[in-house]
Amino acid sequence: MSIFMPDLPQLALSVRQPWVHCIYYLGKPVENRDWNTQIRGTVCIHASKGMTRAEYYECRMLVSNIAAEDADTRAKAIQHPIPPLQPIQRGAIIGTVDIVDVVRRSDSRWFFGRYGFVLENPRLLEKPIPCKGALGFFNWRAKLTAEACHG
């Protein structure tokens, strides 16, 4: 896959792991943010390099709680468990999603932010694209790492 394929959107949103895993494998339908956006449509998802142990285990606890009450999430979590802390993919464009709405309230157990970007159609790339992230939405092609360009 060429990293300059025109079918990949220009904009990306950085999301910390293991939340990225939850979007693509466990059906997490909302990305929590403290800020609103008018952006709708397809964007790339960037797995941030940063992730603390506390964030990792907080996510695992939430997944465990949701799976205890929801058979669909439980089945997905058994089939696609959250990877161990160290080898989890970070610092790369992982895939795309469609942002279809932004909500301030939701019945989803995955919603706990001030704003929730409602996500649909998560699609993983065949191969992650190493890339530096940024706050907010960003042009990921301008942040490509040498590994992505030459590797």
State the sign of the Cα–Cα–Cα–Cα dihedral 88, 94, 98, 99: positive
Residue 5 lies in a domain: no
Does 2 fall in a domain? no
Annotate 12-46 with DSSP letters as a single string.
Answer: EEEE-TTHHHHHHHS---EEEESS-----EEEEEE
Per-residue pLDDT of the chain (151 residues; tens, 9 = 90+): 344 556 899 999 999 999 999 999 999 999 999 999 999 999 999 999 989 999 999 999 999 999 999 999 999 999 999 999 888 889 999 999 999 999 999 999 999 989 999 999 999 999 999 999 999 999 999 888 655 544 4
Total-model pTM: 0.90
Asked, for residue 4, whether it belongs to a domain, the answer is no
* Structural domain span for residue 141: 11-150
| In contact, 50 and 16? CB cutoff 8 Å | yes
Residue 16 lies in a domain: yes
Residue 1 lies in a domain: no
Nearest partner of 42 among 110, 2, 95, judged by Cα: 95
6 within some domain: no
**Domains of the chain: total:** 1
Looking up residue 25, the CATH number of its domain turns out to be 2.30.130.30
Longest dimension (CA), the chain: 46
Contact 90, 48 (CB under 8 A): yes
* Position 30 in a domain: yes
Q: Does 122 map to a domain?
A: yes
